[in-house]
Amino acid sequence: MTGRAAPLRAAFYQALGEAWAGGAGVLLPAGFFAGAATLVPITFGPETAILAAAAPAVLWIALALASLVTMERLFQADLEDGALDLWAIGETPLSQIALVKTFAHWIVSGLPLMILAPFLGLILGIEASYWPRAAVSYGLGGLAFFFWGGFGASLAAGVRRGGLLIALIALPFYVPTAIFGALTVTSTVAMPPEAYLLAASTLFALAVAPFGMGAALRLGVG
């Protein structure tokens, strides 16, 4: 009677519901991203050429850090309130539940960053012709960041105030995405090879991180 997708759909809606019910916490990564990016022009002074050159890198750094801001509670809450036990008893692999939950978290907290990126590019003096590419790049990169951050969050689920631990675990995995992402945004070619490598790094995160999350959560339950 139960389709294989039913538990995943339920987990997805529950994660979305929890995020919305959580109030302004949802907007924290977007606020962090926008705040960091708007402080940069102020601190750089009036040299617009330097600002435009540094802008893509600044946005990547802000995106990487913004993705970590709300990671801590992603699985910790489930571990504390007993929901993770209920998932663990079911037949659906925890890796799939983790994938769905992380994806829902990205939709709520990560997608706004992708939408914000071109507007912040405007503030930082990035040329308008680069905006579509920048949005796609920051969207793809953000997805990878959220999944590696989710992996860190699953390992640190049982740790109180595990935010620093999550960052330490996740940041090394951010490196390929950050390198290819920055190169993609700054490249002068229409469809640079770095874009494929950026997409590949995101696909790698989507394919591998859920299994790591599943194994880490299984350890956390036991």
Which residues contact another protein by CB under 8 A?
Answer: 1-3, 6-7, 9-11, 13-14, 17-18, 21-22, 77, 80-83, 85-86, 88-90, 221-222
Note whether 104 and 19 are within 8 A (CB): yes
Q: What is the DSSP letter of 109?
A: I
What Rg do the C-alpha atoms of the chain give, in angstroms? 18
Give the residue with the Cβ less far from another protein, 85 or 127. 85
**Cα torsion at 96, 100, 105, 108 (round to 10°)?**
170
Q: How far is the CB of 20 from another protein (least distance, A)?
A: 9
CB of 218 to another protein, least distance (A): 8
Q: How far is the CB of 3 from another protein (least distance, A)?
A: 7
Q: Please, what is the minimum distance in Å from the beta carbon of residue 157 to another protein? A: 14
Which residue, 153 or 205, has its beta carbon nearer to another protein? 153
Which amino acid belongs to residue 167? A
Distance of alpha carbon 201 from alpha carbon 141, whole angstroms = 8
List the structure tokens of 15. 């994660």
